Every structure is written in structure tokens, then in C-alpha cells.
Structure 1
Amino acid sequence: MKIAQVAPLYESVPPIAYGATERIISYLTEALVALGHDVTLFATGDSRTRARLISGTPTALWRDERVWDTTSHHLRQLDAVIKRSSQFDVIHFHTEPLHLPMQRLLACPSITTMHGRLLPADHGPLFDTFSDAPLVAISDGQRSEMPDANWRATIHHGLALDEMRYSQEGGDYLLFVGRVMPEKRIDRAIEIARRAGLPLKIAAAVHPGERAYFKEQICPLLEASQSFVEYLGEVGGEARRALFAHARALVFPIDWEEPFGLVMIEAMASGTPVIAFRRGAVPEVIEHGVSGFIVDDVDEAVQAVRDIGAVDRARCRKTFEQRFCAERMARDYLAVYRDLIESHAPAPAANADAANLDTGALQA
């Protein structure tokens, strides 16, 4: 099968450090290649892949200080995808839904995975207008926000089996990994660690729109908690794997309807149990008492820290292998691709010259 994967241009695929969507695109792309498919990845030029790479920008937009208007770059990428659409059996979009008005111009079927939270006031009118656009949800919790959209499947994320470093022995610290956002509740993580009497390591990215929140709300907490909290900033590569492997538990004290929570399965892959608040996709991902504990408040989270030794790290890893590996994710998507291809009616405005285009970087 000839498959195009279209990634956002904010981060490389895979990302240097933070970037859940780009990380999943990488796992899916490489798994599809390993299964013998002809895959083209539309992404940044500094991406790393065994697929054919078509670069939309030389580097990740969020790491290029010259870039202000990211939409202009994504529109150029979309133009390149449309022109090449006759080269593919299916196109898989992971981007913000700028492409929906143009999906009818494609010479092949397309599918869109919605990676973020869905808001009825924003996405409801959008999905009503483009009700023919096939969608994939990353959790039933995410899908429940917009139950009448054109969902073709719910497909949970997956990781490569060798992506994380498994450790049978947990360490002496709690871990928070993610992005500095109010709804991720770093303040709760600090309170849980303080009351449980354990050190807390925080590996968190601060994006431009959250710098004021970080400075005004989080920095004072970090300064007041220096005796037991270590803020590491954005962490990637082997250092990130080591953080997961040697943590006693990952704390996931969210205060929003989390669409999935990739860090939870990264922890499971490391053998590290998760203590997560009962919001969004958490009950779909965590098996209470098997891969961690699901809690409803800080008191329960503190008790879960004390009880965390009851979770078998080997069983935690086994659960990951059975439910959240990249090959399972790829096969689930392949089933969706085949259904789309079988039911596809050719678009009337497909570009007849697309097949003759080169597959190099986009031209300015």
C-alpha cells in the first residue's frame, strides 16, 4: 500500500524532546515501513525516518526563531500534498484541520486523526460543515466530546517495543513529564510529592503561550520546593528514557479531559506505574492495580504513592506490550485505510499531473 503520513511542522518527527503527536507519527510511520508498505512522510526537513521524506520546512517551526506565522508554512505543505495525491492509495493527516476544505480535491481517500481535545463550540460547526471527512479518535473519551462526528475508529496510541528502557527496580523519586499548562497541574504533583515525602523530578516544556503562566504561577512553587523538587526543563533522548525507567511512579494529576496521555504508556513501557486522576482517557489506558492507580483527589494520590509497591513492574511492562505496541497501532490503522480505499469515489478535481512531480523539498 502507498501511504502518505502528513505531520504538523511545529516539531521534527520524531521530536527532539516534547511532542506527543510527532512521536506517535514516527512510531506509526516506522511500523508501517517495517510491515512492508511504501510510506511517504510529509514533515520537517530535520525529521528522521526510513520512509520517503518530503520536507515542508528545513527545521521545526517552534525551534526557528525567525518564524512567526506557522499557518503559512502549513498551507504550503498542504498544497504539496494535494499535488501529489495521485501517487498514494491513502493520505493520513495528523495536522490541525486546515486541510478539510481541500480534502475533496485529493485524488485518493484521506483520514484525519484528531490528536487534541475536541471542543463542541469550535469543532461542532466544523464537523457539521465537513461531515464527509473521515476521522479517527485516539480514545473513546475524546470521541465522546463529539459523538456524532464521522468517526471511523478509535485507535489507541502505540510505541515501538524498544523505545523505552525497562527497569525491574523503581527509584526513589516521583516523576512528572509533559508540558507546562494549567490543566496538567504541576502544582498538584508538587503537593503530592511533599505530602508523600518523596523527591519529585519535573521534565516539562514551556511553550511560548505558557511562559507567563510558568513565570507567575509555577516558578514561585519551584522556588519554595527546592528541597524536594528538581525542575529539569525539556528532556529528550536517553536522559528521558532513564528518567522514566528509574522513577518510583509517574504522577499524572490532570485537571482536564485528556485525549490520551502518551506519557502514561511510556511509563508503562519502562515498568513504571502511573498514578493518574480520573479524567479523559485515563480509565481507558490505566488498569487500576495493574499498571498503576486511578485516583480522584490528592489524598488518594498520596495514598497511592504509599501503596505503589503493590504494582508489579514486570506486569506493568507486559500490559504495555499487549495493548500499546506500535505494530498493533499500525495494523489498526491499516484496517481503516483498507475500508476507505474500498469505499472511495474519485474526487472530480484531482490533479492529473501530480504523478509526475518530484518528491523533494517544497519549493518556495
Structure 2
Amino acid sequence: MKIAVLSPVAWRTPPVHYGPWEQMASNIAEGLVAKGWDVTLFATGNSQTAGKLESICESGYEEDRSQDAKVLECLHISHLMEQADQFAIIHNHFDFLPLTYSGLIRTPMVTTIHGFSSPRIIPVYKKYNDTGHYVSISNSDRSPQLRYAATVYNGIDPSGFGYVETPEDYLLFFGRIHPDKGARDAIDIARQTGHRLLMAGIVQDEAYFREKVEPLIDGEQVRFVGHAGPEQRNRLLGNAKALLHPIHFEEPFGLSVAEAMMCGTPVIAFNRGSMPELIGHEKTGFLAKNTAEAAAFVGQLHAIRREQCREWAISRFSMQKMVDDYVKVYEKVLLQTTILPRNNL
């Protein structure tokens, strides 16, 4: 069966540093190829896949700022839609824009909703409630105005995350430097507990970094290492005593949380969004109300068995489980579709 996986064109698929949507599109595409599916990945030209690759640009607009984002998006989406009848199903990871083509093609489209950038985009999803097949990445990230085919948690490749039984004595913040992610709160937690804190991630809010974070980076107790590639990421996550995830928004998933647990590293997070679905409280980490409670939980990390974190992550957030769950969605959608596209086998 031929399937098209539509990835964004902001970053390479899979990303070198940042790009969670691109990473999930890659994991699904590669997982399906491993199962023998005929997969075409629509992504940037510098993307990597064991399947077929279709592209309209060599690199993403975040990697080459001379390009116009909207122009690339239009060219990229239309490039797939103009050959939609070659596929049995389209898996859309490009938010709501591809839905506007769905009434013009016969190929059913599964859309993974990787969170809502704003409530203002929901009317587009509502318009296609009857014909779209929406998948949420957590139960907490569902709009009551939409109908869903399933919830499928993001999945990562366990082989890419080495298990570390004995960590080093530091806490880790791994994520965008932005008020939503609570970078300053992580520093406060570390200072309250007297722990070293390593911080890794792209600076998304320059003013926040300059005013709230940078003045507290002393290179000793608090150290900022910038964005981290896969090898450095895995080393940072695996050797950490705990990942601090003091978010200030209703996070749809939280990929670094699953990645940390895959390494055996427990997570201390603010109890918002999908965190209760990702973290087993007092089993794989702790759910805190505020920085003071999070700091108190640091003193209880000795009670967490790191091997249980790894087992938990593999059972719930492995790439293999995610792909199997999506195959069930595809089968359900195809059974519901009375008119299949031509030339799809």
C-alpha cells in the first residue's frame, strides 16, 4: 500500500537540532518502511529516509532565512496534492493548511494535530470534521469542538537512547528558552536545592533569555550549552539526575520528557497539559504545583527506579508502538472510506 507522509518544511526531516513535528514524521515514515510499506516522504531535499523522498526545496525556511516561509508551504503542500491519487492514504503532519485541499481530492487524509498554535485555527478543523480523520497526541490536547479517530502518543526509537543506570550529579533543563517552558523556574529549582543545572535548547525568546535567564548563568552552578544534536542530547539526558520540566502552558506532549525516561532519567514537571499522561507520579518522576514543590521532589529522587523509567517509556512511547497504533488508524480510515483513490497499490 502506498502512503504519503507530509512533513513540514521548516527544518530537515529528521531534524538536526530542533523540529518535533519533523521528528515524528520521520519516525512514522521509517517505521512504516521497516514494516514493508511503500512510503513517500514529502519534506525538504536534505531530508533522510529509507523510503522515497519528494521535495520542492533543498533546505527548510528556518535553516535558510532567505526563503519565504509561506511560498515554500504553498509549493510543498500543492506538490503532494497534485499527485494525491497515487496514494491510498495521506498522513498530514503539517497542521491545518493541507485540510483546505481535502475536499478536492479523493485520497483520505489522516491529520496528526501537534497542538493548537491558537484557538483561531480551530474553525478550519471544524469545517472538515465530517471528512477529516484527526489524531491527538494526548488526551489532554483535544478540542471539544472536534471529532477524533484516536489518540496516539508520540514515539521515539529506543535504540537511539542509551539507558544509564548511574547518573551524574546534575539536573537538566532541555527545551526552548521561552517563558512557556520555564527555563527560569528550572534555575530557581536548582538554586533552591544546591544542584548544578545544565541547560540546553534553542533561544526562542531573546528578551526573556537576556533578562531572566542569562544573568543567572555563571558557568558553574548554572551552565548553558546551547542547542544539542542527537549525540549530545542523549548524553545530557542519560547522565542527568533528573530532567526539570516546569512548564507554564498546557503542553500537548513534551518530547524531551519521553526521551529522558527512555534513558532511565526521571522527570520533575509542573502538573499541566499532558504531563499526567506522560509521567507516572512517584514512579517515573513527580508532578509538582510550583517551584517549591518541585525543589522538594528533588530530595525524593532516590525513590525512583531508573529501570522503571526506561520500561515505562518503552511500553508507552516507543516508535514501534506509535507506528502500530497509526496502522490501526489507517485501517479504520480505509474501512470507512467508500471511494478509494486510483493507482493506490
Q: Which has the higher contact order (CA 8 A, sep 6+)?
A: 1
Deviation, 1:182, is: 1.2
Q: Find the residue that maps to 2:309 and give its secondary structure.
A: helix
1:264 aligns with 2:263: no
1:148 aligns with 2:136: no
Unaligned runs of 5+ in 2: none
Counterpart of 1:221, as a letter, is: L
Counterpart of 1:252, as a letter, is: H
Provide the TM-score with structure 1 as the length reference: 0.90
Deviation, 1:148, is: 2.7
Partner of 2:209: 214
Partner of 1:181: 178
1:320 aligns with 2:313: yes
Deviations 1:158-191 (A, max 9, x none): 1112011211111111011111221111010000
Deviation, 1:346, is: 3.9
Partner of 2:77: 78
Q: Find the residue that maps to 1:63 and give its secondary structure.
A: coil
Deviation, 1:289, is: 1.4
1:172 aligns with 2:165: no
- Verify the 8 A CA contact 1:11 1:19 in the aligned structure 2: yes
1:4-19 correspondence to structure 2 within 5 Å: 4-19=4-19
Deviation, 1:248, is: 0.4
Partner of 1:252: 245
Counterpart of 1:28, as a letter, is: I
Partner of 2:268: 275
Partner of 2:95: 96
For 1:78 and 1:118, how far apart are their aligned partners in 2? 19
Counterpart of 2:114, as a letter, is: H
Q: Find the residue that maps to 2:15 and give its secondary structure.
A: coil
Q: Find the residue that maps to 1:200 and give its secondary structure.
A: strand
CA separation of 1:346/1:76 partners in 2, compared to 1, >3 Å: closer, same or farther?
Answer: farther
For 1:214 and 1:45, how far apart are their aligned partners in 2? 33
Counterpart of 1:189, as a letter, is: A
For 2:118 and 2:148, how far apart are their aligned partners in 1? 16
Corresponding residue to 2:297 among 304, 328, 345: 304
Partner of 2:156: 159
Deviation, 1:124, is: 3.3
- Verify the 8 A CA contact 2:95 2:112 in the aligned structure 1: no
Partner of 1:200: 197
For 2:83 and 2:125, how far apart are their aligned partners in 1? 25
Deviation, 1:237, is: 2.1
Q: Indicate the percent of aligned positions where both proteins have the same amino acid.
A: 37
- Verify the 8 A CA contact 1:117 1:258 in the aligned structure 2: no
Q: Please say which of residues 337-346 and 236-245 is displaced more in the overlay.
A: 337-346
Deviation, 1:339, is: 1.4
Partner of 1:290: 283
Deviation, 1:345, is: 4.2
Provide the TM-score with structure 2 as the length reference: 0.95
For 1:83 and 1:264, how far apart are their aligned partners in 2? 38
Deviations 1:271-304 (A, max 9, x none): 1000011000000010011111111111111111
1:53-68 correspondence to structure 2 within 5 Å: 53-67=53-67
1:113-152 correspondence to structure 2 within 5 Å: 113-117=112-116, 119-120=118-119, 122-132=120-130, 133-143=132-142, 146-152=143-149
How large is the RMSD of aligned CA atoms in angstroms? 1.7
For 1:128 and 1:94, how far apart are their aligned partners in 2? 17
Q: Find the residue that maps to 1:71 and give its secondary structure.
A: helix
For 1:175 and 1:18, how far apart are their aligned partners in 2? 17
For 2:84 and 2:266, how far apart are their aligned partners in 1? 43
Deviation, 1:10, is: 0.6
- Verify the 8 A CA contact 1:100 1:130 in the aligned structure 2: yes
Counterpart of 1:104, as a letter, is: G
- Verify the 8 A CA contact 1:249 1:274 in the aligned structure 2: yes
Deviations 1:302-350 (A, max 9, x none): 1111111111111110111111111110111111111111222449xx8
Partner of 2:222: 229
How many residue pairs align between the two structures?
A: 343
For 1:31 and 1:38, how far apart are their aligned partners in 2? 11
* Runs of 4 or more above 3 Å deviation: 117-120
Q: Find the residue that maps to 1:187 and give its secondary structure.
A: helix
For 1:10 and 1:217, how far apart are their aligned partners in 2? 28
